[in-house]
Amino acid sequence: MGKTVTATHCPYCSLQCGMELVASPAGIQVRGRDFPVNNGGLCKKGWTAADLLRGDRLTTPLVRWQRDGPLRPASFPAAIDAAATRIRATQQKYGRNAVGVFGGGGLTNEKCYLLGKFARVALRTKNIDYNGRFCMSSAAAAAQRAFGVDRGLPFPLADIAETGLVVLVGSNVAETMPPAMQWLARQRAAGGELIVIDPRRTATAEGADLHLQPVPGTDLALAAGLLHLLVADGGVDDDFVAARTTGFGEVRRLAAAWWPERVERVSGVAAGRLREAARRLREAPTAMILTARGAEQHSHGTDTASGWINLALARGLPGRAYSGYGTLTGQGNGQGGREHGQKSDQLPGYRRLADPAHRAHMAAVWGIEPGDLPEPGPSAYELLGALGSDVQTLLVAGSNPVVSAPRAARVEAGLRALNSLIVCDVVLSETAALADVVFPVTQWAEESGTMTNLEGRVLLRRRATAPPPRVRTDLTVLSTLAGRLGVARGFPDDPREVFDELRAASAGGVADYSGITWERIEAEDGVFWPCPAPDHPGTPRMFADDFPTPDGRARFQPVEPAFPAEQPDDAYPLWLTTGRLPGQYQSGAQTRRISRLCGRVPRVEVHPSLAAALALAHGETARIVSRRGSAEFAVSVSDAIRADTVFVPFHWGGTARANSLTDPALDPTSGMPGFKACAVRLEKPEKPEKYEEGTG
Ligand code: SF4
């Protein structure tokens, strides 16, 4: 047997870098591939992605036959029987809504679509949501209310190379999406400027023209202060505001109260540096304002994203060439995953479950009565809070909430209290280890399907190798389970068939995929939605002429600076903020199993002055305590962090679980928890251990 080469995409983040998989009897090798977002470049996660195909992954279904017994290998039919029996028993005893579904932003579009349909049509439960709530839902809500549509970037990533100024708010592109740095490098080489706003002096901030280092959770005050200065110094694009927006008067009135010295008092950013940022924004001929999780993962994250959108609108950026506002989505299918029905309030194509016309459309596609569709259910945090009470059985696909959810210890207790937990995953994650039934599912290289990257570009992952014999796709699990629950029709497991149904379902919706085919994706290096007809070119750039709002205008939002729900005090005197490391991805369930990525220990970044005050040495363990719980990390002494703030990564479970600490206070609009700022104290354990740190 010779070599086969398959063009596909990385399994991890929202860039969805193009790669080739070279399969031979010796194994599978990864090669970079020329694709518009990465031009052949990959980060270390991409280069090592194939390691898990043969590594520490699940190869057989597992069933826990007795409540406290062990998980034992089972055949696929036996596992399906076990799952169906548990679902039926729960619904008979407690009602339809007692079975919940929890999805993920890494699932293909086809899986997201079929998972939503499975919940609404096969289970007829209102209780479905997904881990994207904990990712970019605040920016999505803000974009929706300002522009009438939520697409992470309303322009291709490569446009960054052409803009005069990039303002990055709460994003560390250099370490989380290294191949994207080439666009910033080109932009800088052409004379463009970069402003980074981040409580840490990250690798991205190191190279910026200006780094503003605010107190965590004060980004909205910064945006208000910048708008104040634009108004004061004639930086508002009055023609754009008059012709293409509504609501500026109230926003201008609110900004008047945020003069630079007041912003300095709450954010810690010197008034002079704020003026410097405003001057650069005012003078740049073109500019992009890009937010990410650092600004968005707060209990006021939607308003914060709105504050940055207000600033972009005041400068007249959205719809102008090489300008605009965007959010840098995190998860691999963070964009497509929020479009096709796995959110509690949503139907495919970004339709709304509460809208009678939208319900009628989807009911017709699915061949049911509109009245048979459940009502909108609770968002992810509330759904996980109902485990063991309103929800007695949970189906989890592509998510590891034991590590990634806020108040993770409570979520773990809730999962243990269920009548039954059914998990579809690639590996025995911390969540799968608690399950009663585990379905091992195919990895990215073992299946075909579409993803939608951070640009709104729909792309195709192609199968390059066969999975182990007992491993099925999530689609096959859902299809077989639906049949066993008595819904024999409407659940195909062929991804192309599911995609064609998704196209029809999305027709006429905001995220219209009806003109996109797998053939077009292959021929055109992906197709940007909306694409409402086979002869439509797709929409790489949005808003040039109007916004998809009832009057065609963008809507300023009158938001007032708000601050983290929890503030430091005598008992918890420090800020905690959380984030990602270069060699790990999300809850780490996959990347922690790849030996080439496992060099690093979980560490807390501590400023030298704080380390000295607490007598903490580099490499020793320290305990972090919040009002929710405690966790232990190795100390990494660094002057890149503010002295009043500590930083931990969120890729680990067990005693280094960041989400044992984080604040679950929810954003009232998006349901986003306050992951990025809470009050903690740092303690030196009586017998601190010493870690040697590697390079992973
Ligand atoms: Fe994969 Fe993202 Fe790294 Fe690209 S940047 S190789 S998509 S993890």
Q: Give residue-wise pLDDT tens across range 523-571.
A: 999 999 999 999 999 999 999 999 999 999 999 999 998 888 789 999 9
pLDDT at 598 over 80: no
Nearest in space to 290 (alpha carbons), one of 267, 312, 319:
312
pLDDT at 87 over 50: yes
Sequence-distant (≥ 6) Cβ neighbours of residue 641 within 8 angstroms: 199, 200, 201, 605, 606, 607, 647
Residue entry with tokens 């990494």: 636
Mutational test site, ligand 1, from 44, 177, 331, 651, max ligand atoms within 8 Å of CB: 177
Residues of the chain above pLDDT 70, percent: 98
- Nearest-angstrom CA–CA distance, 147 and 32: 35
Q: How far, in Å, from the CA of 304 to the mean position of ligand 1?
A: 27
What are the start-end ranges of the H helices in 207-256?
A: 219-232, 238-244, 248-255
- CA-nearest residue for atom 5, ligand 1, is 177
Nearest in space to 324 (alpha carbons), one of 281, 279, 287:
287
Identify the DSSP state of 449.
E
pLDDT of residue 67: 85
Q: How far, in Å, from the CA of 582 to the mean position of ligand 1?
A: 10
pLDDT digits (tens, 9 = 90+) for 231-240: 999 999 999 9
pLDDT of residue 694: 42
Which pairing describes strands 62-64 and 71-73: parallel, antiparallel, or unpaired?
antiparallel
Specify the ligand 1 atom closest to the Cα of 38. Answer: 4
pLDDT digits (tens, 9 = 90+) for 603-662: 888 999 999 999 999 989 999 999 998 999 899 999 999 999 999 887 777 788 888 888
- Nearest-angstrom CA–CA distance, 409 and 389: 17
Q: How far, in Å, from the CA of 576 to the mean position of ligand 1?
A: 27
Measure the N-to-C terminal CA separation of the chain; round to a whole number of Å: 34
Nearest in space to 187 (alpha carbons), one of 201, 207, 206:
207
Mean model confidence pLDDT for the chain = 92
Residues of the chain above pLDDT 90, percent: 77
- Averaged pLDDT, 248-252: 98
Among the residue ranges 45-54, 137-146, 286-295, 587-596, the one predicted with the least confidence is 587-596
pLDDT at 102 over 80: yes
The C-alpha angle 198, 200, 201, rounded to 5 degrees, equals: 100
pLDDT at 582 over 80: no
- Averaged pLDDT, 431-450: 96
Would the pTM of this model clear 0.85, i.e. be above it?
yes
pLDDT digits (tens, 9 = 90+) for 358-403: 999 999 999 999 999 999 999 898 999 999 999 999 999 999 999 8
Most confident of 126-135, 160-169, 585-594: 160-169
pLDDT of residue 695: 36
Structure tokens at 463: 């199968």
Q: How far, in Å, from the CA of 586 to the mean position of ligand 1?
A: 12
Specify the ligand 1 atom closest to the Cα of 332. Answer: 7
pLDDT at 406 over 90: no
Confidence category of residue 689, pLDDT binned at 50, 70, 90: low
- Averaged pLDDT, 11-28: 92
Specify the ligand 1 atom closest to the Cα of 13. Answer: 2
Residues lining ligand 1, Cβ inside 6 A: 10, 12-13, 15-17, 38, 42-43, 45-46, 177-179
Q: How far, in Å, from the CA of 524 to the mean position of ligand 1?
A: 21
- Nearest-angstrom CA–CA distance, 397 and 112: 9
Q: How far, in Å, from the CA of 250 to the mean position of ligand 1?
A: 41
C-beta of residue 86 within 8 angstroms of C-beta of residue 419: yes
- Nearest-angstrom CA–CA distance, 185 and 189: 6
- CA-nearest residue for atom 4, ligand 1, is 17
pLDDT digits (tens, 9 = 90+) for 297-344: 878 889 999 999 999 999 999 999 999 999 998 788 988 888 898 999
Helices (H) and strands (E) in the chain, counts: 23, 30
